[in-house]
Amino acid sequence: MTVPPIQRLLGPVAVFVAGAVGAVLVAFVDPHEPGHYPTCPSLTLTGWYCPGCGGLRMAHSLLHGDVPHAFDMNPLVLLLLPVFGYLWVRWTVSAVRGVPLRTALIRPGVLYGFLVLLGLYWITRNLPFAQVLAP
């Protein structure tokens, strides 16, 4: 049984729409002002910045064209945005063609390396000498 192309595109389109809605919300509701968004659970429970801490402020600054401030809020996520965009495009093209997504970026070694990078970033951004990585 062949899946129609429109049905294969449901996932990529849903992710795009969710991202666009989130971007519009973050663009208009400033996360720099307290009380607009919930506090990071990791920061609340441990006092440590997680790898995503500062992500909303980074997105807000980026959507307003302030790339240096966006980089200050969360450099890792900002640098990974092109990778996420590339993966979304590959996913969409694969869905249109009706073939499974295949890329070197989702192989086990790369994924484990990414998890190690996240762990190191999580620890490093909370050390006194690396305050430049804190949001």
For 68-119, the pLDDT digits (tens) are 999 999 999 999 999 999 999 999 999 989 888 898 888 999 999 999 999 9
For 7-48, the pLDDT digits (tens) are 889 999 999 999 999 999 999 999 988 888 888 898 899 999
Distance CA 36, CA 28 (A): 11
